[in-house]
Amino acid sequence: MSSGIPVYNQACLATDSSSTVPSFYLVGSTSPGSLEINYINNPDSTTYTRVSSQDDQSAWTPNAAKLCYIYPFSTSVNPGINIIQFGSGSTYIALAQTNNIVSGATYFQNIDFMSPKLFSWSGKFQGFNMFTIVTNDTDTVTGRPGSWAGLRLNFRENGPSLLDYDIIYQPIAPWDALLSVGTYGEYAGSTAPGFTIVFDSSNRGQIFSTEGSLLADRNNTVPAVALGTPVSVNMNGISLTESAIPVTMGNTAYILDKASNGTTVVYSINPGASSTLNRVYKTGDSLPFANNMAASALNNQILTYSVTKNVAYFNVFDLSSGSWSGSGLVSGPAEDAPPSSKSSTPVGAIVGGAVGGLLVIVFALFFVVHRRRQGAPKSDNAAELAQTGPEADKTGSAEQEYVQHCNPEYTQYDQGYAQPQYDQGYIQPQHDQGYVPFEQAQAYQHPSPFIPPPPPINQNVDVSFKVYQPESVSPATDIDTYKVPHSDVTDASMHSPTVVHTSPYISPASYRDSFQPGSPETVRAKISSGTQGPQFVPNAPLAASEARSPQVVPGSIAGH
């Protein structure tokens, strides 16, 4: 056990939002090639325990942004911690455990993850977790780097994972996106439902219902992550800045942002219940916002890590009390209440009287007009307008099958930017059989008054895929190019933001020091001259004694 809180330029927090235990993990790099995983007993602790570390000069860097995840509801005494590093030429994935074993670093060949602010956690089931992300893959229309994709990660093992560009509906153009944040719900059938919320630089937002599939693999056309028809976010007068940080806490998304006075302001949105972005008002002292701040959900709280003048701090925002705790807080107004609660009684009486007078006039006019129009037939346009909702915008027919998109059409906002009303329950949309291509986008018509529906269950996928049994792959016989990592290849040779992928099947990373650079993961090619399916990689070798352990045991392959 060591004293003091480690100082990192770019750190991440691995927390279990479902646990009642206040412990968590802090991950960062102090020097090129180093990766450190530290156990912290509670946010008030000034000591830590180094539980894992790795030295890989070709992978880890102190200045690259990172995200960390731990399997929710974990019951293992040795839980796996997924670590994702971002950036051009520095995107790597590792699975660390508390017994000083780190599997990785691994990566998708020629693919980088652009930013942790465009990496939304939008579905989970057991060890599988789904994300809506932006990669560096070149857009085929504009030639600009940046493409939306769906990612399925395994939180229990270092594979199998799937990256898929076929997400049905495309959000706004990646280069216009400011921030994305996700929420996840309860597993249903073979899908993991959730929501993806995307905000752009023009102070607008979109909500997409999200469906993550456990049936997607390299041999079928089921998308790993599918986005539904979007609805607009009611920004509620809120303007997000480029400093905003996303935090996922189950079915609610939180955003930490920099206020005009330099302190931290908290916003929330629950897309399954409302499209409105709300401010979470605080009481007591404020937390200064730091550009290197890391944040994560811990119990019913938001945990932050920040560094000021080479001193690291942990702080906690309690959502129940609306108050900050920890070191480094600054004094401010005792209460940060909504403006409506500060109105005085005389003003309220005056406004109430004026409104009352207007209502009398309105009712009188309504009575006169109603009498004159009584008995008039309804306009035929009423029935026609009722058919212009999301169901009227379906493309193709039930016999069309889902195909890969070569030229994605990004969903745009209409001129009116109407806000949906959320006074009805969930509406389950009726889908055609199979997935259909998303063709030329029309001007987006916001749905009539109902909330974004929860993702439907795909009833048309072959049930034989419910338990996927991966086959062993022989480097000598498989038609794809079988590649495995090599430690003597530099980062520059392993990443290229403009490469079009043709044969992306890569082997597990446990052989990283013996062969050529590659990835243990799976990539579904964005552009393909034929009908090539997604590439999928079986689980990495696991110890026979524990299904979650990434320890290598030659000759044993674990299925899922």
Q: What string of pLDDT tens digits covers the 560 residues of the chain?
A: 777 899 999 999 998 766 677 899 999 999 999 999 999 999 999 899 999 999 999 999 999 999 999 876 556 677 789 999 999 889 999 999 888 889 888 888 899 999 999 999 999 887 789 999 999 998 878 888 899 999 999 877 766 789 999 999 999 999 999 999 999 998 877 889 999 999 999 999 999 999 999 888 888 889 999 999 999 999 999 999 999 999 999 999 999 999 999 999 999 999 999 999 999 999 999 999 999 999 999 988 999 999 999 999 999 999 999 999 999 899 876 556 665 544 444 444 444 555 555 655 655 555 444 444 343 333 332 222 222 233 333 233 222 223 333 345 555 554 333 333 333 333 333 333 333 333 333 443 444 444 555 554 444 444 333 333 334 333 333 333 333 333 333 333 334 333 333 333 333 333 233 323 334 345 554 433 333 334 343 343 333 333 333 333 333 333 33
Residue 297 counted as domain residue: yes
Residue 382 placed within a domain? no
| Residue 295 falls inside a structural domain | yes
Phi, psi (degrees; rounded to nearest 5) at 218: -70, -15
Q: CA 413 to CA 109: how far, in whole Å?
A: 34
Q: What DSSP string runs through 226-255?
A: EE---EE-B-TT----TT-EEEEETTEEEE
Longest dimension (CA), the chain: 87
- Which strands, in side-by-side order, build the sheet including 252-258? 245-249, 252-258, 264-269, 278-280
Q: Are strands 225-227 and 323-326 parallel, antiparallel or unpaired?
A: unpaired
Total domains in the fold of the chain: 1
Separation of CA 153 from chain center: 12
Pairs from 493-496 (Cβ < 8 Å, separation ≥ 24): 493/517, 494/58, 494/89, 494/107, 494/109, 494/110, 495/88, 495/89, 495/90, 495/91, 495/107, 495/110, 495/111, 495/112, 495/136, 496/110
Does residue 439 lie within any of the structural domains? Answer: yes
Q: Which domain covers residue 228, as residue numbers?
A: 1-369+400-560
Query: What single string gives the DSSP state of each residue in 14-44?
Result: E--TT-SS--EEEEE-SSTTEEEEEEES-TT
313 within some domain: yes
In a domain, residue 168? The reply is: yes
Q: How far apart are CA 311 and CA 338, in angstroms?
A: 34
DSSP 8-state code for residue 168: B
Query: How many whole angstroms separate alpha carbon 110 and alpha carbon 93?
Result: 14
505 part of a folded domain: yes
Tokens of 499: 């490469």
Tokens of 100: 């000083």
- Residue 412 and residue 381: Cα distance in Å, rounded? 26
549 closest CA partner among 123, 140, 100 = 100
Residue 292 in tokens? 């290197």
Is 551 contained in some domain? Answer: yes
> Which residues pair with residue 12 across a beta bridge?
27
- Cα–Cα distance, 298 to 254 (Å, whole number): 12
Distance CA 237, CA 242 (A): 17
What's the first-to-final CA gap in the chain, in angstroms?
A: 36
